[in-house]
């Protein structure tokens, strides 16, 4: 489906939701209102949301530990997302998962994963089931650049390739695995080259350009849906935020480097596109921002006012009946 | 009743469950036309086709990962680690993904998968192909662990494992594959979580599982000749443990030894011993004995290999010691 004005507005709405949500999370973590840790995807909104918007009913996705943007892209309700971050019984995972395990199976979200590359097996298995029952669906397997250095990545690409599984490996190359820049972690300049070694086609795109992400991912998803086997997309983007809440000093990169990427901010770029093409005016965009902020504030209240899970829950979910 | 081998019993269970439920499929290295490392899946690819009996490259980690993903999506995978030692290459997907999926997601999905694990020593395969790693698996909440000792159990437990909605680690002892036993003609399932009193006795309780049960049976026959009556509990399931059956037997005999091939330190014997100390201490007439593998890697030399794990004579000697206390 081509990118209609309506779809562009939805995409903008979701990107703003992810950004404002994460800015709020950052603030709440700084004020010690939240337990645990979190990995923010500020700067990667075009990648995660543009990619998710190409999926249709019955498609699935496996997410990374940097997953809030992807969750919003897949339609997770901010109320339940926040309640999970607060560890409440109303959360998506009843408080058992937290930020690194947000999951929403009924919306095709097979969960974020605390293990780098941990979604690879789940993605292949979900795709195998589609293949087994001859369903015309695909699985989008989100990965970071770091995951492509894990052994499982190479086993997964090879197996998906020889079994012709409907997987879109969507690599958000944000250039950092915690503190290690991709220039230090691999000799290839493009992660796409790694796919070619397994007989898998690859696409490299500007991950900070939402329109580009959507259009190119959409064709890739079509290619996979038509039974051509897996594909790999390398979405080149940048992790503007630190690795996690404990990454304060960021001695491994320069302010100039960060600033250069902030200048390519995906939300600003989409705003410019929307205004230039008369999809909406600045008043309308401002309204979206206000409305989203209100929703998030309301969601925070919902989360704060929810109950902690009772200890009875501990033995309830370890084994299925 | 009919007489078949352990290997045939497993194959029958796989075949019957695949006929019963089209969502059951097999996956692993060389399980197709080659028939699996020990021949368990021989002929199944001809019966069910390559869509359901799926050969893979040597990629243990992703096989376990794919199985987990397929299980949460509604299929019922049965995967084979050619040797249970290779589970080291699968551990992330078994421990961090399969075992925790139901819990972390608050039951948004369950993980009905079976991992087949040919285990144990005695084949001269050396340190990387002979281990007994079942205690590792029992240490991970979210997994169930079974270890049949004979063909009857192999078939009944495999059928239960495939029908279970949780990841089941299914140990098979390599020396048991060619053992013969009676199996009912009619369909039957052995529930997971129930031990079996293999032999009734009054003087001592032997708690064991897997191939070691056979050694206990032979030792018990010798002990009978000198007037020692041993009760043998075949655990069948190692997690969740059937504590009641063990405790009830110990209440009767007051003397207990736990026999397994796995190394002693951190083994099931320690766990069962602790349970008995907590729950049946006042019934004990003698200290609990663990007759287990030595804390060494399995060596190649046949003489050394035999010296590393409990033999029938070791079990008999231990029983005599236990009676003297």
Domains of chain A: 5-306 (3.40.50.970)
Is B299 domain-assigned?
yes
Mean pLDDT, residues A118-125 taken together: 98
Tokens encoding B242: 């059937």
List residues of chain A with CB under 8 Å from any CB of chain B: 60, 62, 93-94, 96-97, 101, 103-106, 110-111, 113-115, 118, 120-129, 132, 151-152, 155-156, 158-159, 162-163, 313, 316-321
Is B190 domain-assigned?
no
Helix, strand, or coil (residue A26): helix
Whether residues B214 and B253 share a domain: the answer is yes
Whether residues B238 and B273 share a domain: the answer is yes
Q: What does each C-alpha distance from A115 to A64, A173, B279 come to in angstroms?
A: 8, 17, 39
DSSP for residue A60: E
Mean pLDDT, residues A204-214 taken together: 98
* Partner-chain contact B64 A121, CB within 8 Å: yes
∠ CA B159-B164-B168, rounded to 5°: 85
Contact B195, B236 (CB under 8 A): yes
Residue A2, pLDDT above cutoff 80: no
Name the domain boundary from B151, B183, B215.
B183
Name the domain boundary from B118, B149, B183.
B183
Contact A139, A120 (CB under 8 A): no
Helix, strand, or coil (residue B108): coil
Write the CATH number for B224.
Answer: 3.40.50.920
Give yes or no for a cis peptide into A103 (omega within 30° of 0): no
Among residues B240, B290, B265, which one has the least CA distance to residue B140? Answer: B240
Query: Over the stretch A144-175, which tens digit does the pLDDT of each residue have?
Result: 999 999 999 999 999 999 999 999 999 999 99
Whether residues B171 and B100 share a domain: the answer is yes
Q: How far apart are CA A269 and CA A260, in angstroms?
A: 14
Residues of B in contact with A93 (CB under 8 A): 104-106, 108
Residue with tokens 């395990």: A101
Residues of A in contact with B101 (CB under 8 A): 111
Among residues A265, A72, A285, A95, which one has the least CA distance to residue B103? Answer: A95
Give one word for B205, left, alpha or beta, with left for phi > 0 and alpha for psi -120 to 50.
beta
Helix, strand, or coil (residue B90): coil
- Tens-binned pLDDT, residue by residue, of chain B (325 aa): 999 999 999 999 999 999 999 999 999 999 999 999 999 999 999 999 999 999 999 999 999 999 999 999 999 999 999 999 999 999 999 999 999 999 999 999 999 999 999 999 999 999 999 999 999 999 999 999 999 999 999 999 999 999 999 999 999 999 999 999 999 999 999 999 999 999 999 999 999 999 999 999 999 999 999 999 999 999 999 999 999 999 999 999 999 999 999 999 999 999 999 999 999 999 999 999 999 999 999 999 999 999 999 999 999 999 999 999 8
Q: How many CB atoms lie within 10 A of CB A198?
A: 19
∠ CA B200-B202-B208, rounded to 5°: 55
∠ CA B48-B49-B52, rounded to 5°: 75
Q: Buried b / exposed e across B129-165, counting CB within 10 Å, b at 16+? A: bbbbbbbbbbebebbbbbbbbbbbbbbbbbbbbbbbb
Q: How far apart are CA B31 and CA B115, in angstroms?
A: 13
Contact B43, B35 (CB under 8 A): yes
Q: How far apart are CA A149 and CA A145, in angstroms?
A: 8
What is the model's pLDDT at position B126? 96
With a CB cutoff of 8 Å and minimum separation 6, the contacts of B161 are B114, B144, B146, B168, B170, B192
Whether residues B214 and B284 share a domain: the answer is yes
Choose, out of B74, B94, B105, the residue to mutate when testing the contact with A (most A CBs < 10 Å). B105
Closest CB to B106: pick one of A93, A118, A151.
A93
Write the CATH number for B162.
Answer: 3.40.50.970
Q: What does each C-alpha distance from B17 to A32, B14, B21, B26 come to in angstroms?
A: 53, 5, 6, 11
Is B189 domain-assigned?
no
Whether residues B46 and B133 share a domain: the answer is yes
Mean pLDDT, residues A20-26 taken together: 97
Residues of B in contact with A115 (CB under 8 A): 92, 96-97
The Cα of A268 is separated from the nearest Cα of chain B by a number of Å equal to 35
Mean pLDDT, residues A20-41 taken together: 94
Name the domain boundary from B159, B183, B207.
B183
Whether residues B208 and B319 share a domain: the answer is yes
Residue A246, pLDDT above cutoff 90: no
* Partner-chain contact B69 A159, CB within 8 Å: no
Strand-pairing partners, residue A234, are A171, A204
**Helix (H) / strand (E) containing A45:** helix A45-52
Contact B279, B308 (CB under 8 A): no
| Cα dihedral sign, B139-B36-B86-B265 | positive
Whether residues B15 and B120 share a domain: the answer is yes
Is B300 domain-assigned?
yes
Contact A321, B144 (CB under 8 A): no
Contact B293, B310 (CB under 8 A): yes
Q: What does each C-alpha distance from A20 to A131, A194, A281, B119 come to in angstroms?
A: 38, 35, 20, 53
Contact B259, B215 (CB under 8 A): yes
With a CB cutoff of 8 Å and minimum separation 6, the contacts of B301 are none
What is the model's pLDDT at position A1? 57
Whether residues B172 and B29 share a domain: the answer is yes
Whether residues B172 and B247 share a domain: the answer is no
Q: How many CB atoms lie within 10 A of CB B200?
A: 11
DSSP for residue A154: H
Whether residues B122 and B227 share a domain: the answer is no
- How much is the ipTM here? 0.97
Number of domains in chain B: 2
Helix, strand, or coil (residue B246): helix
Is B264 domain-assigned?
yes
Whether residues B98 and B229 share a domain: the answer is no
Contact B192, B159 (CB under 8 A): no
What is the model's pLDDT at position B325? 80
Determine contact: B275 vs chain A, CB below 8 A. no
**Helix (H) / strand (E) containing B162:** helix B151-163
Strand-pairing partners, residue B3, are B182
Query: Over the stretch A249-299, which tens digit does the pLDDT of each residue have?
Result: 899 999 999 999 999 999 999 999 999 999 999 999 999 999 999 999 999
Q: How far apart are CA A14 and CA A270, in angstroms?
A: 12
Query: Over the stretch A70-86, which tens digit does the pLDDT of each residue have?
Result: 999 999 999 999 999 99
Whether residues B149 and B278 share a domain: the answer is no
B 173-232 near A (Cβ less than 8 A):
none
Structural domain range at position B207: 196-324
Determine how β-strand B204-208 pairs with β-strand B256-263: parallel
Q: How far apart are CA A207 and CA A59, in angstroms?
A: 22
């Amino acid at each position: 489906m081509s990118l209609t004005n309506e779809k562009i507005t939805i995409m903008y709405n979701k990107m703003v939701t992810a950004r404002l949500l994460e800015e709020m999370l950052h603030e709440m973590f700084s004020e010690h209102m939240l337990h645990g840790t979190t990995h923010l995807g500020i700067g990667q909104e075009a990648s995660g949301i543009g990619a998710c918007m190409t999926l249709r009913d019955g498609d699935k996705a496996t997410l990374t530990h940097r997953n809030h943007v992807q969750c919003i892209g897949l339609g997770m309700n901010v109320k339940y997302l926040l309640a999970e971050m607060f560890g409440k019984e109303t959360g998506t995972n009843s408080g058992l998962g937290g930020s690194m395990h947000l999951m929403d199976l009924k919306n095709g979200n097979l969960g974020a994963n605390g293990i780098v590359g941990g979604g690879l097996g789940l993605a292949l298995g979900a795709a195998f089931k589609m293949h087994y029952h001859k369903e015309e669906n695909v699985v989008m397997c989100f990965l970071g650049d770091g995951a492509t250095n894990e052994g499982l990545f190479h086993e997964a690409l090879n197996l998906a390739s020889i079994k012709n599984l409907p997987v879109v490996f969507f690599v958000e190359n944000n250039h950092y695995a915690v503190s290690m820049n991709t220039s230090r972690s691999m000799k290839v300049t493009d992660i796409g080259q790694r796919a070619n070694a397994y007989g898998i086609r690859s696409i490299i795109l500007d991950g900070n350009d939402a329109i580009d992400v959507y259009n190119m991912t959409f064709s890739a998803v079509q290619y996979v849906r038509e039974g051509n086997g897996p594909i790999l997309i390398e979405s080149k983007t940048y992790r503007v935020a630190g690795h996690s809440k404990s990454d304060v000093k960021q001695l491994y990169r320069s302010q100039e480097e960060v600033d250069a990427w902030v200048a390519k901010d995906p939300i600003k770029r989409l705003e410019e596109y929307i205004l230039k093409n008369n999809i909406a005016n600045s008043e309308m965009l401002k309204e979206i921002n206000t409305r989203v902020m209100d929703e998030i504030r309301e969601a925070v209240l919902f989360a704060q006012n929810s109950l902690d899970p009772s200890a009875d829950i501990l033995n309830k979910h370890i084994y299925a009946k | 009743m009919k007489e078949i081998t352990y290997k045939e019993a497993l194959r029958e269970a796989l075949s019957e469950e695949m006929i019963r439920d089209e969502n059951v499929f097999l996956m692993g290295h060389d399980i197709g036309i080659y028939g699996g490392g020990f021949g368990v899946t021989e002929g199944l690819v001809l019966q069910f086709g390559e869509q359901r009996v799926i050969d893979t490259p040597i990629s243990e980690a992703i096989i376990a990962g794919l199985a987990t993903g397929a299980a949460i999506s509604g299929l019922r995978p049965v995967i084979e680690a050619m040797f249970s030692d290779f589970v080291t290459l699968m551990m992330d997907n078994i421990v961090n993904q399969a075992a925790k999926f139901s819990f972390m997601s608050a039951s948004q999905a369950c993980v009905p998968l079976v991992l087949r694990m040919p285990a144990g020593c005695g084949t001269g395969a050396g340190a990387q192909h002979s281990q007994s790693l079942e205690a590792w698996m029992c240490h991970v909440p979210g997994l169930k662990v079974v270890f049949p000792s004979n063909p009857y159990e192999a078939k009944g437990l495999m059928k239960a494992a495939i029908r279970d909605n949780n990841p089941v680690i299914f140990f098979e002892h390599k020396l048991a594959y060619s053992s013969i036993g009676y199996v009912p003609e009619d369909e039957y399932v052995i529930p997971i979580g129930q031990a079996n009193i293999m032999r009734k006795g009054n003087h001592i309780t032997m708690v064991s599982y897997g191939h070691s049960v056979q050694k206990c049976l032979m030792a018990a026959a010798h002990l009978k000749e000198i007037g020692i009556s041993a009760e043998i509990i075949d655990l069948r399931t190692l997690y969740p443990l059937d504590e009641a059956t063990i405790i009830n037997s110990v209440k009767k005999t007051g003397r207990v030894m736990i026999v397994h091939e796995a190394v002693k330190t951190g083994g099931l014997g320690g766990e069962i011993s602790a349970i008995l100390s907590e729950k049946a201490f006042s019934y004990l007439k003698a200290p609990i004995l663990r007759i287990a593998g030595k804390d060494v890697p399995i060596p190649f030399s046949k003489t050394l290999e035999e010296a590393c794990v409990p033999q029938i004579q070791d079990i008999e000697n231990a029983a005599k010691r236990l009676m003297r206390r």
